[in-house]
Amino acid sequence: MTSEITGITRANEGIQGISWNILGQTYVPKHHTDHSFSWHATFPPGTFVPPHIHPDQDEYLYLLEGKLDFMLGGADAQATPGDLVRLGMGIPHGIFNKSDQVVKVLFWVSPTQKLYDLFWGIHNLKEQTPETVVALAAEHNIHFLPPPPGA
């Protein structure tokens, strides 16, 4: 793996200086082992992660700034600073910044599985089209859901 367990990853820094562009958001990895992976995410207004499923990972979000809307297992929810959002493995979820403010979030997953490699793959795509992102995600065992009828 790419980072050590013990140490400090400083504010505004990622491991090995990495910063990814993922679906219009900026992800900065903070920690990466086989057991867990964490990253700081900045969601500009109007950006989102479409509904998807992690069949073999639990995912968590700790909101630092702003407000996010969620689709959690078919229900709508919102989170604000200080809230911890728990997304259990196998539960469909989508993440949306519907506000006019930048949102900052600390994410982590456990176990890491193939998510770190997926983010590298998405970041390195020449063009992040829905079709290419969905296909690449499926190769890394993250499964995007089809859009609802009429969307």
CB 37 within 8 A of CB 112: yes
Domain ranges of the chain: 18-113
* pLDDT computed for residue 149 by the predictor: 59
CB 40 within 8 A of CB 9: no
* Fold of domain 18-113: Jelly Rolls (2.60.120)
* Total-model pTM: 0.91
Other beta carbons within 10 angstroms of residue 97's beta carbon come to 23
User: Which residues are CB-neighbours of 60 under 8 A, at least 6 positions away?
Assistant: 84, 85, 86, 87, 107, 108, 109
* pLDDT computed for residue 93 by the predictor: 96
CB 89 within 8 A of CB 104: no
* pLDDT computed for residue 5 by the predictor: 75
Tens of pLDDT along the chain (151 residues) come to 555 678 888 888 899 899 999 999 999 999 999 999 999 999 999 999 999 999 999 999 999 999 999 999 889 999 999 999 999 999 999 999 999 999 999 999 999 999 999 999 999 999 999 899 999 999 999 999 986 655 5
In the block, residue with structure tokens 């995600």: 137
